[in-house]
Structure 1
């Protein structure tokens, strides 16, 4: 059914005029594709005009899908709610407040690509350094980091990463490469906790992974993307942080940075051991 793919794509990414044109060829406005309706996709993507058109065409806003989220209930997290008897839980309401705070705290970060991060829940940077067996660079030996691209650590630049404590855990970052997101880094960091890592690949975009208790449990993720599979909480998190990959990684492991400095001005730097160097 070519019209089905067209309708779902237009609902999430197209203009209202595109949705209107396709609706004229549609025999089932609530047809399911990948577990969701076109109305659900429009609400998830905050395409409010598209959602209004689909509702006018008879789309059902109360139909539960995607771990129980109906389009109407999901819309309660937007500034264009659909009238419904459903409600958000206090936890979900608090998550919206934290999303607004976190997005504001991170501001315009990131403004460039090519970086990697690991958001580590539940441990501080001292423990992170210990788990990685990294060698801390003395403060007076940290080079001028004004230009990320000038190989500031010389031959060790590829294995130099920054560490900063934030409420809820710590942030590990490499502004110029993928080292902070390597499995050899994220797996040991995740012992007895959880890590959400991200490499902003200049060629292919955001590449995410999740490690728990020393094991990679998910890879090839698109944090802050438009996918929404998973548990009830994961679907909601994907909706709240669509288009905000760094904030998403923080929220996933319950980090609460007060600003972007953990990512832009790490508190200290360390050099990873040779066993990790070989993974680059």
Structure 2
């Protein structure tokens, strides 16, 4: 008996044609189900325009990855500019990566900004995943330093819950300078006491400001105010900053301001890397190191070094009220 029933729709359906109709997310983990699908005529190379092997890496088991890898026409076929092996490294799936290499995948094929899956793995938790051939470039001193910094930062920001959080990480200025630029007023009296344990629904004009090594963080655990364009423009004069709002409905939203100008908006910090955006070598490494941790990504982008989480979640160095103005169009 097969371990999963075959539905024809509903939540979690990933296959819509080519023999994968009604495929559920959980079924990708069962090699018996995948083998049955393939024996019934499912196309190992086509999942409604995407590639089943890539889907198996993202959602399946190493056994499923191996089953598909031995049946596809090209184990290194591209989807959105990357191979299944690249995705296995990105998603920290070493057993699936080994299965792909055993089926003929090339760890040292350069894909994005000079990075190959093999070289990228040198920056990850399993640097000995692949045998390094003679003459193959390893990590540079700068890249090794970035890996070291990432491990320290992620150790501080491990397993954090940040839904609803807004913050902006500012390079090169401290909290007093940030407060001066914002013309913000320190909170005092009974309101200051109440903010020691802030709750959802606090005033959106109120933000926390904290000096950290490398710069400062302006935070609001309950809202989006720090990421508003007007706030970032004021803070980024002569420097740069990365804003983040962890929107509970639409996901993490990132933005970049430099020298008083919004440079980029609607980014996905710690999310998928789009090869069509022509990322730099540094971009690729940053996305890999901080994948699925938007707060750490924002801090690293601005070159901030945290030793604890109080700059992000409070209590900050100073709670302040932003002056009344249009921060969306200023």
TM (normalized to structure 1)?
0.90
Out of 193, 197, 217, which is 2:239 matched to? Answer: 193
Do the aligned partners of 1:39 and 1:59 also contact (CA within 8 Å) in 2? yes
Do the aligned partners of 2:210 and 2:217 also contact (CA within 8 Å) in 1? yes
Which has more radius of gyration?
A: 2
- 3-state SS, counterpart of residue 68 of structure 1: coil
TM (normalized to structure 2)?
0.77
Cross-structure match for 2:308: 259
Cross-structure match for 1:125: 175
For residues 209 and 14 of structure 1, do their structure 2 counterparts lie closer, same or farther at Cα, with a shift above 3 Å needed? farther
Cross-structure match for 2:117: 71
- The CA distance in 2 between the partners of 1:228 and 1:235, in whole Å, is 10
Q: What are the superposed Cα offsets for residues 48-72 of structure 1, whole Å, 9 maximum, x if unpaired?
A: 1111111111111111111010111
- The CA distance in 1 between the partners of 2:124 and 2:306, in whole Å, is 24
- 3-state SS, counterpart of residue 7 of structure 1: helix
The worse-fitting range, judged by mean Cα deviation, of 24-33 and 195-204 is 24-33
- The CA distance in 1 between the partners of 2:327 and 2:104, in whole Å, is 58
For residues 150 and 242 of structure 1, do their structure 2 counterparts lie closer, same or farther at Cα, with a shift above 3 Å needed? closer
The yes-or-no answer on 1:90 pairing with 2:141 is yes
For residues 79 and 106 of structure 1, do their structure 2 counterparts lie closer, same or farther at Cα, with a shift above 3 Å needed? closer
The worse-fitting range, judged by mean Cα deviation, of 1-10 and 90-99 is 1-10
CA shift, 1:223, in A, is 1.1
Do the aligned partners of 2:66 and 2:99 also contact (CA within 8 Å) in 1? yes
How many residues align structurally? Answer: 274
- Stretches of structure 1 that go unaligned for 5 or more consecutive residues are none
Do the aligned partners of 1:66 and 1:228 also contact (CA within 8 Å) in 2? no
- The CA distance in 1 between the partners of 2:155 and 2:282, in whole Å, is 22
CA shift, 1:150, in A, is 5.8
- Alpha-carbon RMSD across the aligned residues, in angstroms, is 2.0
The yes-or-no answer on 1:272 pairing with 2:316 is no
- The CA distance in 2 between the partners of 1:141 and 1:266, in whole Å, is 14
Alignment of 1:130-279 (within 5 A): 130-138=180-188, 142-145=192-195, 147-149=197-199, 151-152=201-202, 157-227=203-273, 229=275, 230-263=279-312, 264-276=314-326
- The CA distance in 2 between the partners of 1:273 and 1:233, in whole Å, is 37
Alignment of 1:28-107 (within 5 A): 28-80=74-126, 81-84=129-132, 85-107=136-158
Do the aligned partners of 1:161 and 1:172 also contact (CA within 8 Å) in 2? yes
Q: What are the superposed Cα offsets for residues 215-239 of structure 1, whole Å, 9 maximum, x if unpaired?
A: 2222221212232641101100110
Do the aligned partners of 1:29 and 1:38 also contact (CA within 8 Å) in 2? yes
Higher helix share: 1
